[in-house]
Amino acid sequence: MDRVRSTTKKEQKMTTWKVSHIDAKKTLRAFLKEKLGEGYSVRKIKWNIDHHLVSVNGKVERHSTVKLVAGDVVDFNTKNITDNTIEKKRILYEDDAILAYDKPPRMTTMGKGLLEILRRKYRDLEPVHRLDRDTSGVVLFAKDKKYLEAMTQQFRDNIVEKVYWAVVDGVIKDESGIIENRLAKIGENHGRAVWGKVAHGKEAVTRWRCIKTGRGASVVECRPKTGRTHQIRVHLNGIGHPVLGDVHYGKRFRCRYRPSRVMLHAKKISFKHPMIGDKINITAPIPDDMKEAIRYTNCGMVQKGVTE
């Protein structure tokens, strides 16, 4: 028998297998398909892997094509991390023109993610901007096409003020700085676009300041002037401090803490209301997993600025 155990808890079902010599050299995806049977499609298995619900030897495995070896221990967690209902507490702001929602991590903005869920109640809702799947925090939606265009223009003109918090690898020496370069797609990693610094790319500007430091990590506040794909993640990695959990860009991490997702949070957004013209400020609370990362790395011990 290669199944080690199967446990059931409230909101969680975990099954564990030990890889036998017969299953050695199989890909993780093929191994799970065989063990889980017809009840799980390859697409569903890959969804679980993409959402960090599968680990090998106690470490979250993000690649479905990794080859297994005899003796590996594979954990498969079927916990449903994407709530298919609208959580009222996550609605940060709402009126006749705009809806602001606190997007949880591991949920896409588009596709089968947040937009689809919100449209069950708000039929004509359109996203004003997007966040990466792992990034949590404020996302804006427009309730009418004319408001969508007005808000989109503010983003084009770079007048929307955005504030992000990131828990990054290493203790940052400087208190603040500005990163300015040009970014473009430079390749792919396991089917996902990789962005980087290139001479012919689009202008990318990020202001940052270190607000907390701790044991092998720092909390950084970022204020991107532009909104390029993966901009903050690329910029922070470029100065030698990749965001914790960002294995897409960070290749080596000094900090021992290993979060299951990219520790990046869209904390605040400010813009001119498209209907009444007033300045609107919307803030999303720091999520529990980021608080845990900050506690674990003792990033509250040395204060360089404001606290949460």
Examine the pLDDT at 36 and tell me if it is beyond 90: no
Average pLDDT on 43-49 reads 82
When mean pLDDT is compared across 58-72, 135-149, 161-175, the lowest value belongs to 58-72
How far is Cα 278 from Cα 250, in angstroms, rounded to an integer? 40
Higher pLDDT pick, 308 / 202: 202
Whether the per-residue pLDDT at 153 is higher than 50: the answer is yes
- What backbone torsions phi and psi does residue 35 show, to the nearest 5 degrees? -75, -35
What letter represents residue 135's amino acid? Answer: T
Q: Is the pLDDT of residue 189 over 90?
A: no
Check whether 2 has a pLDDT greater than 80: no
Task: Tell me the catalytic residues.
Answer: 132
Confidence class of residue 9 from pLDDT cuts 50, 70 and 90?
Answer: very low
Cα–Cα distance measured from residue 272 to residue 88, given in angstroms and rounded to the nearest whole number: 24
Alpha carbons within 13 angstroms on the beta-carbon side of residue 211 total 17
What pLDDT score does 272 carry? 95
Distance of CA 160 to the CA centre of its chain: 21
* 245 class by beta-carbon count within 10 Å (0-12 exposed, 13-18 middle, 19+ buried): buried
pLDDT greater at residue 7 or residue 227: 227
The confidence band for 145, taking pLDDT boundaries of 50, 70 and 90, is: very high
Is 80 exceeded by the pLDDT of residue 290?
A: yes
Span 87-133, pLDDT tens digits:
888 999 999 999 999 999 988 898 778 999 999 999 999 999 999 99
The pLDDT assigned to 13 comes to 64
Cβ-in-10-Å burial (0-12, 13-18, 19+) of 229 comes to middle
pLDDT band for 300, please (50, 70, 90 cuts). Answer: low
Which contacts qualify for 239-246: CB closer than 8 Å, 24 or more apart? 239/177, 239/179, 240/170, 241/168, 241/169, 241/170, 241/172, 242/168, 242/169, 243/166, 243/167, 243/168, 243/169, 244/167, 244/168, 244/169, 244/217, 244/293, 245/134
User: In the predicted model, is pLDDT for residue 301 greater than 70?
Assistant: no
* Contact between residue 241 and residue 170 where contact means Cβ atoms under 8 Å apart: yes
- What is each CA distance from 272 to 140, 142, 145, 281, in whole angstroms? 13, 13, 16, 9
CA distances to 170, 210, 248 from 254, rounded to whole Å, are 6, 18, 16
On whether the CB atoms of residues 230 and 130 are closer than 8 A, the answer is no
Q: Write the CA distances from 195 to 36, 48, 112, 189, 245, integer angstroms.
A: 36, 25, 24, 10, 17
* Position 84 confidence tier, pLDDT thresholds 50, 70, 90: low
Choose the weakest-confidence range: 10-19, 37-46, 129-138, 172-181: 10-19
Position 111, amino acid: G
| Helix, strand or coil, per DSSP, at residue 40 | coil
The torsion angle over the Cα atoms of residues 242, 243, 244 and 249, rounded to 10 degrees, is -60
pLDDT at position 165: 97
Task: Indicate the pLDDT class of residue 39, thresholds 50, 70 and 90.
Answer: low
Helices 28-36 and 42-50 pack at an angle, to 10 degrees, of 120
Give pLDDT tens digits for 197-244. Answer: 999 999 999 999 999 999 899 999 999 999 999 999 999 999 999 999
- Which residues share a beta bridge with 212? 219, 303
